[in-house]
Each structure stands twice: as structure tokens, then as C-alpha cells.
Copies of this chain bind each other. A is one copy, B any other.
């Protein structure tokens, strides 16, 4: 199997040349001191850690899996040690609040770290990943006391966090959860219920686990407006912040899954466990959205990791593996056959992976610079704009990048031929590990409804227009540049088409709200391809400017432009199918009686 190598040059391109983060940091009071040197040194340290500590235990972790024995979960060999090292290096605390031990760096720096950890070993990266979400939730909604008690420990990495939402009958629909919280005289609550699919719910890496739990108060209204949020630690904290008595929280079993086998997916039983309300009563779902947005960007990143990891594996194989002669004549006549990278059909697979990996990286990093603004700015207007853009792009990034990341992972298998199906080579593991990304943190279908229904149509198109304005500005600024005309022309066409299609669906939805659901998934994929098209055009422009300025790295920049050209010519046409499918409408989905779907 392939050893992971952090794509440092590309990460730097996105952070420094595309997004110019140093300049943006300088304009945000909280991050003004973060300079390029610091960012690069952290990323390089993260690369070493990911390559040397995480990548080597990725496949063994998959083979070994997590073990469950009477409530105790043991992670695979090496996982605990790697986690200790991660904590020691302070990598978990990069973007956390300095008041509680964090380093106060911009979230975009943390995203780069997460990408490298995740590509090297997605299962492992979920343990610190879940803590990250718990930290964000307590930072935003916790009381001062809760912050002191839990944040410090979570940020240090001594304790880890979870997100306890799902119950066996309730996943996409959290309004019908049944876990209960009974108020106690001392202001605490007794939490009872069973949660499933709890990642990092139980393990042997940290001395305590802080569960963030959704449950209903006795007098709560029905549905989503009657859910509250609680902190429920595995061990109750002592007065001095240490680990005290065991709480009524236990792991009932772990799931046997298709992938991410080294990530413990737990059934967690709360049996009159002591919990502490976080945020206002019955507003738990709103508070949880913070956590969920973090998790959604983190999951979008999984798509990028899948594309990058499978691309690395496939590229090295395609350069070495010999099969057949090029149709246009032998390319390696001294060998018994040509390396398969000479074949256009193989290049199509590789370039698709590359376009999704680098385009996805640009998308997620761009999003994370919006998070930088949201968390760091003191300017309310600037924050509002970033927040709106973020709201609009989050479902797109989450669903689109996991869908295309999964496609890329499958291309990795395909490049290897039959060998891709064999576990030893590591390609099929990426497919298995990535499949969950299209499901957890809201399925593709749920994200699609969120985008089209809640974001675009409920804002009467305002959120879309905010985005298409950005694209429009870009087009205006670049239409006259040599080498940009083709990109700009197609992008401008799509930008206009996007608005038209949205209006069409909006009109139909006024007649029948189900039209939203009928169009949603195609709409989301369309949105994803166009958004990534914008990012590729933008990257091509930056690269062309560098070439024009006589950069010594012309090969790197040329490859960027060529990948953009590939994307526009061979990938972006997929938008046509999605537009046509949307226009195919609702009736053909609904006219069949559910009882007549099979005879």
C-alpha cells in the first residue's frame, strides 16, 4: 500500500497564493499575528506526524479494528500512542481559545492539519475530530464554569468529546428522539436513553469522554422545538478538574461496519446519568447546529482526503504498471508494455481524482477562511456576509465533496484493476472508509433539502445571489485576460443558468412543495460542479498570473491550468445532465403507488 505524502506544495498554493491567508489574517484582530512562516511550520510538522505516525497504522487499523469486551473498547495497535504524540505536539489545540489552553490560531490552519491527519488515517482522525466539535459547542454555548471544567481538558486532549444525537429510530429526523432528561434539585439532570452511531463514544485513548447529548425535558413540546442539549461526562469531574466518579454512561456494543473500522462506533447507554444543561432549554437543536456545521465541514474534508489519498495511490501505480501499447504507438518500447499512464482512459480516471482533490481542497479551505472571519472578526457586517456564504456553501461542500470523493476513491480501485479489490493495496479501504461520508452528519439527500429548501428558496434566492455575485465579479475581472476567456464564458453561462433553474423550481414549488425534494439532489450536485468550476477558474487565473510573471515553478502552474481545462471540458458538462434531470420534474417520482413498486 502507498505511503501518504502530504501535498505541501498544493496546500501552500491554496492557502497563500489563492486565498492569501496571511493578508486576511492581518485584517482580523484575533489572528493578526499569524504569519506565513508560522502557518508553514505547523503544516510541515503536521505533515511529518501524518506521514510517519498515522499513515503506517492506517491499514493495520482497518484489519485489526476496534475490540469490544464488556463495555471496554480497545483501539487498534498504535492508535493510543499516536494520540499521545498528537496531544504532546499540541495539534489538537491549534484553533482553540487561548484562555482555556488553545493556541488561538485561525480555523483554516486547523483544517490543513485535519486534512493531512485524515488522508493518512481517517479512522484515527475521527477521535480528535469529534473533540473539536465538542470544543466549539462548549465555547459558544457553555457557561463560564462549564468552560473551565470541560474546555481546558478537551483542548489539552486529555479528554475527548462526542456528539450523541442519533437513536436507532431517529437519525435524519431528530425531532422524534426519546432520550429523557429529568431535572434534579441541584440543577443537574438525570439522562436516560440509548444513542447509537456514537463515534469515539468509548475508547482507550483518553482518561475521560465528554458526551454532548440531545434529550427531552419532561415538559418539552413535541418535535424539534422540544430538544435540549446536555454535557454528560463518562466520569464526573472532581472539584479540582480531575476525573471523579463513574457516571451512568456505558458502551453497550460497537458496530460492525463496512469501513472506518478503527473508529469505534458505539451504542451508548445513558442510565440515569448525571448531565448538565448547555444552552437554553428546548433550544438544543439550535445549539447543536454549531457542532453540526463544524462536523459538516469536517466531513466535506473526508471527500477531499479520499480523493487525495486514492489519487496518490493510483498515480504511483499508473506510472509503474505495464499493460498494452499506447494506441498512438509505443511509448516505452524498451519495456514489454507501456506504463498504463499513457492510456487516455487511465488518465481520465487520474485527472478526475486530481481535479476533485485539488478543487475540493480549494473549496474547503476557502470555506475555512470564512470561519476565520466568523470566529475572529469584530465587524458585524463582515461576519454576517461570511456567515451567509458559509451557510450556503456548507451543504454543497458536505454533500458534493463526499459524493465526488467517493467517486475518486472508486477510480483509485479502478486504476489498480483487479489488484484494487485486494485489501493489501489499500485502495479498497478508501472506498469503504469513505462510503459513510455520504451518510453521517446528514445524508446527501438531507444536505440537498437544506441547500435548496432552507437556504436558497427560504431566502428567496438571496443566498444564491450572494454567491453568483462573487462569480460574476470574478468573470468581469478576468474576461479580458488571455487564457481566461473559455473559463469565464462557461462560468458566466452557468451562473446565469443557475439563477434561471432556481426560479423555475421556485415557481413549481409554490404549487407543490414536493418539487423541492424532487429537484434537490440534482440541484445540489449542479451547485457543487459549478462552485468547483469557479474555484478551478480562480486557480487557473492565479496560476496564469504566476506564469506571466515569470515564475520558476512554471511546471507546477501549467499543471494547474491544465487541470482546470480538464475539469471544464470533461467534468463540468455533467451539469447538463443535472439540469435536464431537474427539469424532468416531480410527477415521474410520485405517480407510482408505493404498493406497486414491486410485484
A interface with B by C-beta (< 8 Å)? 7, 9-10, 166, 169-173, 175-176, 196-197, 255-259, 311-312, 315, 319, 322-324, 326-328, 336-337, 339, 341-351, 354, 410, 413-414, 417-424, 428, 431-432, 435-436, 438-440, 443-445, 448-449, 453, 512-514, 516-518, 520-521, 555-556, 558-559, 562-563, 565-566, 569-571, 573-577, 580-581, 584-586, 588-594, 596-599
A571 to chain B, nearest CB (A): 8
What are 17 A-B interface contacts by the 8 Å CB criterion?
Answer: A170-B323, A173-B323, A176-B337, A257-B421, A258-B422, A315-B597, A341-B594, A344-B514, A344-B518, A345-B445, A350-B597, A413-B435, A418-B436, A556-B599, A569-B581, A573-B580, A576-B580
B323 touches A172 (CB 8 A): yes
Docked complex Cα distance between A569 and B589 (Å): 10
Quick one: given A574-B577, A589-B348, are A418 and B438 in contact (CB under 8 Å)? no
| A436→B421 contact, CB < 8 A | yes
Tell me, rounded to whole Å, the shortest Cβ–Cβ distance linking A97 to chain B. Answer: 31
Min CB distance A506 to B, Å, is 14
Distance between Cα atoms of A52 and B197 in the complex (Å): 33
B559 near A592 with CB under 8 A, answer yes
* B418 x A197 contact (CB < 8 A): yes
- The residue on B at minimum CB distance from A336 is B176
Residues of B within 8 A of A443 (CB): 414, 417
Cβ 8 A contact of A431, one of B258, B339, B351? B258
Residue of B nearest to A256 (CB): B423
A221 to chain B, nearest CB (A): 14
A417/B439 contact (C-beta < 8 A), A344-B589, A597-B354 known = yes
Verify B327–A517 contact, CB threshold 8 A. Answer: yes
A7 to B556 CA separation, bound complex (whole angstroms): 55
Q: In the complex, what's the smallest C-beta–C-beta distance from A574 to chain B, in angstroms? A: 4
Which B residues lie within 8 Å of A423 (CB)?
A: 256-258
Is there contact, CB below 8 Å, between B348 and A521? yes
Chain B residue contacts of A258, Cβ below 8 A: 413, 421-423, 428, 431-432
- By beta carbon, the residue of chain B nearest A444 is B414
B520 touches A319 (CB 8 A): no
CB distance from A254 to the nearest CB of B (A): 11
Q: Which residues of B contact A513 (CB under 8 A)?
A: 327-328
Contact across chains for B570 and A322 when beta carbons are under 8 A apart: no
The distance in angstroms between the C-alpha atoms of A354 and B255, with both chains bound, is 29
B559 touches A518 (CB 8 A): no
- Shortest distance from the beta carbon of A68 to any chain B beta carbon, whole Å: 14
Chain B minimum-CB-distance residue to A564? B588
- Considering the chains assembled together, what is the distance between the CA atoms of A533 and B589 in angstroms? 17
Least Cβ–Cβ distance between A170 and chain B, in angstroms: 7
A-B pairs, top 8 by smallest CB distance, nearest first, are A573-B580, A569-B584, A344-B517, A258-B428, A577-B577, A173-B323, A327-B513, A344-B518
Given A348-B518, A435-B431, A569-B585 contact (CB < 8 Å): yes
Contact present for B418 and A166 (CB under 8 Å): yes
Task: Verify A256–B422 contact, CB threshold 8 A.
Answer: yes
**Closest Cβ of chain B: how far from A518's Cβ, in Å?**
4
